[in-house]
Amino acid sequence: MSLSHDNHADSTSWHDLGDEIAPFDHQDPQLADTLHERLADLRERCPVAHSTAHDGFWLLTRQDDVTAVAKDGATFSASVRGLGAAALFPGSENTVAPLFESDPPVHTRWRKVLQPFFTLSAVQAHEPFIRQLTDQVIGALAPRGQCDVVSDLAALIPTVVIGEVMGVPRQRHHELAQLGLGLMAPTSEQHGREAATGLVDFLRREIAERRGRVAYDSDPLTAVVHAVVDDRRATDDELLKHAFIMFSAGFTTTVDTISNLMLLLAQDPATRQRVIDQPELVTELIEETVRHEPPIVATARTVLVPTTLRGVDLDVGDRLMLAWASACRDEQYVTEPAQFRLDRPRQGRDPGWGAGVHRCMGTRLARLQLRIVVEKVLAAIPEFAVAPDTTPQRTTGVLRGVRHLRLIWPV
Ligand code: HEM
């Protein structure tokens, strides 16, 4: 499963401008340090680029194209073979995951089933739990004077929060946290693979338990298990794929954003001090982190109806990758996009959270967790730096975070 941070590219790609632009494969480990430069080059010179990697796909890098495709569910389907969400869960190519891979009007019905669990008031109801959990994690961490951000902080919070939101009994939270740790900070490739298999088994049990419940609306997973959409209930395979993507969407994104954010604050003491002095800047800090280093680099779509994009003919069945990480840095909308700036005008354009009907449903939950983590970290550990002799490494794939991030601070 390619959720784990330890995956490596197994294919090569090339670009249809020949030697002029080097190959692009989002899973190429060498892209970790050059992703944004590569995307900027494509944005300028070849915004609809073809790659032969992963059996061939078109890569869209301009914000206008990425958002237009995301908003056109009649021409482009969210159900994609072997790329994006489908690639997270190999062997499930013939299964359409409710919500994530459904298209309107079925998608609209799934969204209605789930929306009540992600409203402002529903999310705020989880705030005391998130605060308590974050206190526990940071309380244990602060006296140590050093940590690995990914395994000692980031991976321990969103995994458990998504479990709480999904109605996983609290006595199973520890098991879930261990699985999250194996996925986000594996000690070996084997460890990462075992964690992915472990999460599938965990979710299979959660789904089975929910089948017997009478309270249909206790949590989002139970609601999906019991929902009747298009005159039928979802099959076991559909539920498992949905749950796997839901848990992944719920925690990997937020774990990666905590890591991205902590790296930024460690390397930029002036910004850190500004946020300590003006706590109201936390909101901007989170939005700019998601713009600058969005945890979801790209997701996929399939062409349903023949169409043309910037002069390129797209045929039925062609697969596209929507590069959200590139849309966030599009020079047409963002001045000096590589710069991290807390004073940017937002103008409602925040493609790091998606666009169109599949736009992120967990934005409020993610923002709440991120705000609590930033506030509590800065209160307990106001000064920290990247440990000397260590070099933080970015991860590659459809998700982007940090593989390991060792920090030190005075105690
Ligand atoms: C910093 C954190 C997060 C970021 C940047 C983020 C980003 C995104 C993006 C870009 C999409 C659109 C994908 C596409 O159109 O192909 C998306 C969809 C989604 N996200 Fe998030 N996400 C985050 C956290 C969360 C959390 C915590 C949840 C909680 C469960 C969540 C739930 C979802 C769901 C359910 C969808 C699919 C909605 C649909 O298909 O209608 N996300 N997210």
Cβ of 362 less than 6 Å from ligand 1: yes
Cβ of 111 less than 6 Å from ligand 1: yes
Cβ of 290 less than 6 Å from ligand 1: yes
- The predicted structure's pLDDT at residue 23: 66
Ligand 1 centroid vs 363 CA: distance in angstroms?
Answer: 7
Domains of the chain from N-terminus onward: 18-408 (1.10.630.10)
Query: 41-55, 129-143, 273-287 — which is least confidently predicted?
Result: 41-55
Query: What's the 3-state SS for the chain?
Result: CCCCCCCCCCCCCCCCCHHHCCCCCCCCHHHHHCHHHHHHHHHHHCCEEEECHHHCEEEECCHHHHHHHHHCCCCEECCCCCCCHHHHCCCCCCCCCCCCCCCCCHHHHHHHHHHHHHCHHHHHCCHHHHHHHHHHHHHHHHHHCEEEHHHHCHHHCHHHHHHHHCCCCHHHHHHHHHHHHHHHCCCCHHHHHHHHHHHHHHHHHHHHHHHCCCCCCCCHHHHHHHCCECCECCCHHHHHHHHHHHHHHHHHHHHHHHHHHHHHHHHCHHHHHHHHHCHHHHHHHHHHHHHHCCCECEEEEEECCCEEECCEEECCCCEEEEEHHHHCCCCCCCCCCCCCCCCCCCCCCCHHHCCHHHCCCCHHHHHHHHHHHHHHHHHHCCCCEECCCCCCCECCCCECCECCCEEECCC
Cβ of 353 less than 6 Å from ligand 1: yes
6 pLDDT exceeds 50?
A: no
Ligand 1 centroid vs 25 CA: distance in angstroms?
Answer: 23
Cβ of 366 less than 6 Å from ligand 1: yes
Nearest CA residue ID for atom 13, ligand 1: 354
Q: Which of 360, 365, 367, 368 to mutate to test the pocket of ligand 1 (most atoms within 8 A of CB)?
A: 360
pLDDT digits (tens, 9 = 90+) for 54-98: 889 999 999 999 999 999 999 999 999 988 776 777 778 889 999
37 pLDDT exceeds 60?
A: yes
pLDDT digits (tens, 9 = 90+) for 195-240: 999 999 999 999 999 988 777 788 999 999 999 999 999 999 999 9
Ligand 1 centroid vs 222 CA: distance in angstroms?
Answer: 19
According to DSSP, the β-strands at 312-314 and 307-309 are antiparallel
Average pLDDT for 248-263: 95
Q: Which of 80, 101, 253 to mutate to test the pocket of ligand 1 (most atoms within 8 A of CB)?
A: 253
Work out which ligand 1 atom sits closest to the CA atom of 290. 5
Nearest CA residue ID for atom 18, ligand 1: 360
pLDDT digits (tens, 9 = 90+) for 122-173: 999 999 999 999 999 999 999 999 999 999 999 999 999 999 999 999 999 9
- The predicted structure's pLDDT at residue 21: 56
State the pTM of this model. 0.94
Work out which ligand 1 atom sits closest to the CA atom of 322. 16
* Average pLDDT in the chain: 91
